[in-house]
Structure 1
Amino acid sequence: MKHQPTQSPQFFLTAPSPCPYVDGQFERKVFTHLVGDRAPELNDLLTQGGFRRSQNIAYRPACESCRACVSVRILVDEFEPSRNMKRITARNADLIGAEHEAEPSTEQYSLFRTYLDSRHKRGGMSDMTVLDYAMMVEDTHVQTKIIEYRRRGPDSFITGKGEGELIAVALTDRMGDGLSMVYSFFNPELEDRSLGTFMILDHIARARSAGLPHVYLGYWVNGSRKMAYKVRFGPQEHLGPKGWERYDQGSGHP
């Protein structure tokens, strides 16, 4: 009998493994492949349903005894930067982000390795080779861009590009309802610039300029110091049992 390819995605479940965010817990993920002509449409639907993309895989937590991971998206049209965020924007006014096709470079990998060795020595990505990095960037069937941040040059207003050393990089998916920040990294020696915050602020500005209502930040875990920064960008929505609900940082509840 001739096999007919299915139009519906197939989902798989990983085996339990120690959780990197909550001590004593074990994580499991449900995942599917993002390939073919329908990948962009499927990525939109799954991201709105709390999935994240890694290469050609879309995944979300499916832990048996924990619901700590919460999907977060910023409400772009209502976002108002805090005074500190305005200072960070001003501090990085000499930077410009140039958008490129999702193609890796040795310069990107060098900055990526410096970032990992400084910030995530024991993380799951710590042993990534240049080939692993290339796969992270290139292995996509959706609309993915690389944004490279460099200092402004005299002709940046014409070329849309900066000059000099590469300071920060964002790997970003453009979807029908927003931008999804897949991964970002930066020069860890420039700590006073708060480049992680700056890149999120830049993505909010890019989404607003494109008429897109959301910036997706991935998962937030209440109590995790690594992820505490995500709830500073309000107003935002969190995905819960009732769907996307507005989140009030002050109360800690929708």
Structure 2
Amino acid sequence: MTDLAHLKFYATQPHQCSYLPDEQAVTLFLDPHQRIDDSTYSRLSELGFRRSGEHLYRPHCGQCKACIPARIPVADFVPNSQQQRIYKRNRDLQVETIRPVITDEIYQLYARYIRARHADGDMYPPSQEQFRSFLVSDDAFCEFNEFRLDGRLLAVAVTDRMGNGLSAVYTFFDPDESRRSLGRYAILWQIEEARRASLPAIYLGYWIRNCRKMSYKTEYRPLEMLVNQRWIRVT
């Protein structure tokens, strides 16, 4: 296990925030040459770090504290009536866990999703290099969970399996299957997967009050948020 005190971190120059257009953001990155084990990743996740591709990072924005790390305490989660309906609606899906890989089938699904759902964001237009740098990692804790219906790929949940929980890195899905609520279902599936593996939490990344695209995270209750370096429960 690596002593966190000996890890090196680097801060970026201020740049335009991806979520709040009137704000400047600064990001703190773990030294990309520092290989981490599962225990170190778990400890960094407790401090609000997140993975993107081969990089672990967290916001480091001075006075702005809008990005709040959020996680679901698995043992206490009880699905509401809408979530129960979503779960039942997708019982016909088969899930297979694979190592991170970029295939034509997976990339085409990702590209369709970005074009349909995020054409106004900084991930548009999609490219294979962008996909690789954003989602693919050689680390043993990273996995792709494929959701299929009779062999047809409907969704992929990119998940990191840590000692203290699962990190829901990103989910992309068939934009023509909106009735299924596949993004929400992927989180519900990861909650059940964490329970099967006796893992205590699902890490959802950052919640931002004034960002509409982040609002779905508060649908999962109870929810814990990292405020002033303490995880507090929101019921």
Q: Please state which band the TM-score falls in when normalised by the shorter chain.
A: over 0.9
Tell whether the 8 Å contact from 2:47 to 2:229 is kept in structure 1 after alignment: no
Letter of the aligned partner of 1:202 in structure 2? W
1:239 aligns with 2:226: yes
Choose the corresponding residue for 2:120, options 119, 122, 134.
Answer: 122
What is the TM-score when the length of structure 2 is the normalising length?
0.92
1:191 aligns with 2:191: no
1:125–1:238: structure 2 CA closer, same or farther, 3 Å change rule?
same
Letter of the aligned partner of 2:103 in structure 1? S
CA–CA distance in structure 1, aligned partners of residues 147 and 222 of structure 2:
26
Letter of the aligned partner of 1:109 in structure 2? Y
Partner SS state of residue 151, structure 2:
strand
The corresponding residue for 1:215 is 202
The corresponding residue for 2:11 is 13
The corresponding residue for 1:169 is 156
Tell whether the 8 Å contact from 1:40 to 1:143 is kept in structure 2 after alignment: yes
- 1:188-228 Cα deviation digits (max 9, x unpaired): 11111111110000000000010001000000001221000
- 1:153-173 Cα deviation digits (max 9, x unpaired): xxxxxxxxxx32210001110
1:30 aligns with 2:17: no
Letter of the aligned partner of 2:146 in structure 1? E
Tell whether the 8 Å contact from 1:34 to 1:42 is kept in structure 2 after alignment: no
Partner SS state of residue 169, structure 1:
strand
Q: Which has the larger radius of gyration?
A: 1
How far 1:48 moved relative to its partner? 1.1
Tell whether the 8 Å contact from 1:104 to 1:137 is kept in structure 2 after alignment: no
Partner SS state of residue 71, structure 2:
strand
How far 1:129 moved relative to its partner? 1.8
User: 1:47-86 to 2 correspondence within 5 Å?
Assistant: 47-86=45-84
How far 1:116 moved relative to its partner? 0.2
Letter of the aligned partner of 1:104 in structure 2? I
1:181–1:116: structure 2 CA closer, same or farther, 3 Å change rule?
same
CA–CA distance in structure 2, aligned partners of residues 133 and 73 of structure 1:
25
Choose the corresponding residue for 2:188, options 196, 201, 206.
Answer: 201
Choose the corresponding residue for 2:132, options 131, 134, 139.
Answer: 134
Partner SS state of residue 102, structure 1:
coil
Deviates more, 1:167-176 or 1:41-50: 41-50
The corresponding residue for 1:230 is 217
> What is the root-mean-square deviation of aligned Cα atoms in Å?
1.6
Tell whether the 8 Å contact from 1:17 to 1:28 is kept in structure 2 after alignment: yes
- 1:33-88 Cα deviation digits (max 9, x unpaired): 35565343322111111010011211111112210100000010010000010011
Q: Percent identity between the aligned chains? A: 37
Partner SS state of residue 43, structure 1:
helix
Tell whether the 8 Å contact from 2:54 to 2:133 is kept in structure 1 after alignment: no
Partner SS state of residue 180, structure 1:
strand
